[in-house]
């Protein structure tokens, strides 16, 4: 309940921020409407009683009051519905943006690969409207309670037992909240299926996956699977709704029986001369409006409880974000000793075997380090730990002696730059595609051009008519590029940031020919040396090409999550270990002579 109130306060603040006038109007309209239903019933009793006593003034006054109350209920209800809808959409959008910003601001990556996190975000995104709506339902709940109080007061006037009628709303509410609870459980349970269905759907309609699907002929199979998942998910949701509808119907039957009993009581009272015809009409009118009020109460109650559930996800996300950003020490502006890993082990969430185990490694300030090893050895994972995207399960990583966990994570992230093998194809203008590598210089054309030149991407820009202003990607009728061209732009984006302390190049040139890659790395190594001298910057390269690797100051061979060997190219070749074996295997593959077995 406290959580719900916290989020309501926050949501009211959002309402005030996005549409203060509508928020005030909504409160006033809800207050006015809560009195209108009771006023309608009271005017009818006055009308009947006035007719019996033939008091013209009373009849005219009652008729005027009735018309006013009816028109008020209708007109105010209509306006309130519109105002409410507008507020719900605007506030829902605001909450949606908040959720996205919150999820994107978490400096680590782990949550994006945790199914429970993704399910919560799915439910949260499904439920932002619900949350926004539930705030006004909470206000509506108060309004309806006031309206029911007025009705109870009118009922007491006929017979003191009649207000008990309102108490029959309780079993109805209990049954409905039971149905809602069941529906919420089903929604949570089906979130994973929904994500799965969406990913299959995306695979079927995205250009990137189209080639593989066409050649394998697997499109129909995948769309069939997506369909089955959709049927399963919606089937479960529909069944839970039907279940809820049955429970609600049972509650209403009880309520109707109570209304029938009340009516028969008032008819008996009238026969005994202890009630007027006006009282009978009042009860009938109240019965009709009571049903409406209780129905509103029930709907508001459902929305409030649904909102409470979504609130749980929302607060969880906020708390999770806060726990992931708990370091507060400023990141150094230059490196003196470098980065060290001591006893570092790491297992991906949801898996059981460690990817890195007891890694001890020193990355001296000002050096270029190459990580080599077979596929799946753990090279990219090591880079993810060094950049702070994941935290080790055991051991420590220090930056100039400061534990990385103590550093303000966003600040450390800002000290890094680079490009990953699974780079993004950002379908923006070319200048934006590159500029987002350093948001502060998004509009700095010379900086963008310089990054493009350093990444060897000048030919990519020259190949499209509008140059830097060219729109990229087929989604927006822009130019489509080859894989290698996209990669060159990703590389330019990766080197946009000025003076990073840690530059990571994780197979950034896998789509380039060996000659282009070699030239590029020569250029990078030169620049890295300048940065190294100026501020002790470290460059980490992950590559399978030994022509690139041998330029590094230190080569680290990773094997099954451990450091197998380290040293310079010459040292490792001389020691005739794993590196020498891998190097010769590649050299043989490029030569005309048959491969030798390295021993
Ligand atoms: N997000 C993830 N969740 C679970 N396991 C993962 C994840 N990412 C990688 N792995 C596993 O961790 C191991 C190491 O992966 P990593 O990407 O670090 O290897 P790598 O040495 O960079 O390989 P490659 O040369 O193929 O790029 C692999 O067995 C991989 O399956």
Going from the Cα of 229 to the center of ligand 1, the distance in angstroms, rounded, reads 28
- Residue 40: inside a domain: yes
Going from the Cα of 66 to the center of ligand 1, the distance in angstroms, rounded, reads 74
pLDDT at 250: 92
* Residues spanned by the domain of 441: 424-499
Question: Which domain CATH number covers 131?
Answer: 1.20.1560.10
Going from the Cα of 208 to the center of ligand 1, the distance in angstroms, rounded, reads 22
- Residue 398: inside a domain: no
458 phi/psi in degrees, rounded to 5: -60, -40
- Residue 261: inside a domain: yes
Going from the Cα of 528 to the center of ligand 1, the distance in angstroms, rounded, reads 27
Question: Does 99 score more than 90 pLDDT?
Answer: no
Whether 130 and 277 share a structural domain: yes
pLDDT at 13: 77
Average pLDDT of the residues in 91-99: 81
- Residue 403: inside a domain: no
Q: Which atom number of ligand 1 is nearest to the Cα of residue 383?
A: 18
Going from the Cα of 579 to the center of ligand 1, the distance in angstroms, rounded, reads 20
Compute the mean pLDDT over every residue in the chain, rounded to the nearest whole number. Answer: 83
- Final residue belonging to a domain, choices 322, 347, 364: 322
- Final residue belonging to a domain, choices 499, 531, 553: 499
415 in Cβ contact with 389 (< 8 Å): no
Number of helical (H) and strand (E) elements in the chain, helices listed first: 19, 10
Give the residue, by CA position, lying nearest to ligand 1 atom 18. Answer: 378
> Measured between alpha carbons, how far is 86 from 83 in angstroms, rounded to an integer?
5
Task: Report the side by side order of strands in the sheet with 394-399.
Answer: 356-364, 338-346, 394-399, 402-403
> Measured between alpha carbons, how far is 483 from 220 in angstroms, rounded to an integer?
26
Average pLDDT of the residues in 8-28: 79
- Residue 541: inside a domain: no
Please give the residue that has the higher pLDDT: either 411 or 338.
338
Tokens of 119: 């399910």
pLDDT 10s digits, 558-592: 999 999 999 999 999 999 888 998 888 877 766 55
Give the residue, by CA position, lying nearest to ligand 1 atom 4. Answer: 348
Dihedral (C-alpha) 533, 535, 541, 547: value to the nearest 10 degrees?
Answer: -10
Pocket-forming residues, ligand 1, beta carbon under 6 Å: 113, 348, 351, 355, 373, 375-381, 421
Whether 313 and 437 share a structural domain: no
What is the best residue among 110, 111, 345, 355 to mutate for testing ligand 1's pocket, by most ligand atoms within 8 Å of CB? Answer: 355
The DSSP H or E segment spanning 251 is: helix 219-271
Question: Does 212 score more than 70 pLDDT?
Answer: yes
The SS3 assignment for 566 reads: strand
Please, which residues bridge with residue 394 across strands?
345
> Measured between alpha carbons, how far is 196 from 222 in angstroms, rounded to an integer?
11
Q: Which atom number of ligand 1 is nearest to the Cα of residue 374?
A: 25
> Measured between alpha carbons, how far is 56 from 559 in angstroms, rounded to an integer?
100
> Measured between alpha carbons, how far is 180 from 245 in angstroms, rounded to an integer?
10
Whether 430 and 302 share a structural domain: no
Tell me whether 0.95 is exceeded by the ipTM.
Answer: yes
Dihedral (C-alpha) 386, 387, 388, 391: value to the nearest 10 degrees?
Answer: -30
Going from the Cα of 421 to the center of ligand 1, the distance in angstroms, rounded, reads 12
Whether 318 and 430 share a structural domain: no
Give the residue, by CA position, lying nearest to ligand 1 atom 2. Answer: 348
What is the best residue among 346, 347, 376, 505 to mutate for testing ligand 1's pocket, by most ligand atoms within 8 Å of CB? Answer: 376
For residue 463, the 8-state DSSP code is T
Going from the Cα of 200 to the center of ligand 1, the distance in angstroms, rounded, reads 23
The SS3 assignment for 376 reads: coil
| Strand residues in 271-403 grouped as ranges (E) | 338-346, 356-364, 368-372, 394-399, 402-403
- Residue 451: inside a domain: yes
- Residue 517: inside a domain: no
Neighbours of 89 (CB within 10 A): 14
pLDDT at 109: 78
pLDDT band at 71 (very low <50, low <70, confident <90, very high): confident
Average pLDDT of the residues in 398-407: 93
pLDDT 10s digits, 317-363: 878 877 776 778 888 999 999 999 999 999 988 788 999 999 999 99
Average pLDDT of the residues in 78-99: 83
pLDDT at 596: 45
Q: Which atom number of ligand 1 is nearest to the Cα of residue 544?
A: 25
Going from the Cα of 382 to the center of ligand 1, the distance in angstroms, rounded, reads 10
pLDDT at 359: 96
- Final residue belonging to a domain, choices 484, 499, 514: 499
Going from the Cα of 377 to the center of ligand 1, the distance in angstroms, rounded, reads 7
Give the residue, by CA position, lying nearest to ligand 1 atom 31. Answer: 376
Domain count, the chain: 2
Tokens of 260: 């029938």
């Amino acid at each position: 309940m406290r959580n719900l109130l916290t989020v309501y306060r926050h949501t009211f603040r959002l309402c005030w921020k996005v549409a203060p006038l509508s928020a005030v109007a909504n409160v006033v309209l809800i207050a006015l409407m809560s009195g209108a239903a009771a006023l309608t019933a009271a005017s009818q009793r006055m009308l009947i009683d006035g007719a019996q006593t033939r008091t013209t003034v009373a009849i005219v006054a009652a008729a005027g009051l009735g018309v006013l109350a009816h028109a008020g209920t209708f007109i105010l209800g209509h306006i309130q519905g519109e105002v409410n809808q507008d507020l719900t959409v605007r506030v829902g959008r605001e909450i949606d943006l908040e959720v996205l910003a919150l999820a994107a601001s978490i400096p680590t990556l782990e949550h994006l690969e945790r199914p429970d996190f993704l399910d919560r975000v799915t439910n949260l995104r499904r439920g932002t409207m619900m949350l926004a709506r539930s705030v006004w339902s909470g206000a509506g709940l108060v309004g309806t309670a006031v309206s029911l109080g007025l009705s109870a007061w009118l009922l007491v006037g006929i017979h003191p037992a009649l207000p008990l009628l309102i108490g029959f709303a309780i079993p109805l509410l209990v049954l409905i909240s039971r149905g809602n609870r069941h529906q919420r459980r089903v929604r949570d349970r089906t979130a994973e299926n929904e994500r799965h269905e969406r990913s299959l759907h995306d695979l079927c309609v995205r250009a990137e996956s189209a080639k593989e699907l066409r050649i394998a002929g697997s499109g129909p199979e995948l769309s069939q699977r997506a369909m089955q998942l959709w049927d399963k998910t919606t089937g479960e949701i529909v069944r839970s709704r039907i279940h809820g509808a049955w429970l609600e119907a049972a509650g209403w039957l009880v309520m109707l029986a109570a209304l029938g009993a009340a009516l028969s009581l008032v008819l008996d009272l009238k026969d005994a001369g202890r009630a007027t015809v006006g009282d009978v009409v009042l009860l009938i009118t109240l019965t009709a409006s009571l049903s409406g009020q209780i129905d509103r109460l029930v709907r508001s109650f459902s929305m409030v409880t649904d909102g409470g559930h979504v609130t749980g996800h929302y607060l969880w996300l906020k708390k999770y974000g806060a726990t992931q950003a708990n370091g507060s020490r400023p990141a150094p502006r230059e490196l003196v000793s470098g980065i060290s890993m001591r006893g570092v082990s790491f297992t991906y969430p949801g898996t059981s075997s460690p990817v890195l185990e007891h890694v001890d490694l020193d990355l001296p300030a000002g050096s270029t380090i190459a990580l080599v090893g077979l596929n799946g050895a753990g090279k990219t994972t090591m880079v993810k730990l060094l950049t702070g995207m994941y935290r080790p399960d055991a051991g420590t990583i220090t930056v100039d002696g400061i534990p990385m966990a103590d550093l303000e994570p966003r600040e450390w992230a800002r000290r890094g730059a680079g490009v990953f093998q699974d780079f993004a194809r950002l379908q923006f203008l070319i200048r934006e595609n590159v500029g987002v590598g350093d948001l502060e210089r998004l509009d700095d054309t010379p900086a963008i051009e310089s990054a493009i030149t350093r990444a060897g991407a000048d030919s990519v820009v020259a190949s499209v008519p509008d140059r830097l202003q060219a729109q990229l990607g087929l989604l927006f009728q822009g130019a489509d590029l080859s894989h290698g061209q996209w990669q060159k732009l990703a590389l330019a984006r990766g080197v946009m940031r000025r003076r990073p302390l840690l530059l990571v190049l994780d197979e950034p040139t896998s789509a380039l020919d060996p000659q282009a890659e070699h030239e590029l790395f020569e250029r990078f190594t030169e620049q890295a040396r300048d940065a190294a001298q100026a501020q002790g910057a470290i460059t980490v390269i992950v590559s399978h090409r030994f022509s690139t690797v041998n330029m590094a100051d230190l080569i680290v061979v990773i094997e099954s999550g451990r450091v197998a060997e380290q040293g310079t190219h010459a040292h490792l070749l001389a020691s005739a270990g794993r590196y020498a074996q891998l190097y010769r295997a590649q050299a043989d593959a490029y030569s005309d002579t048959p491969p030798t077995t390295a021993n």
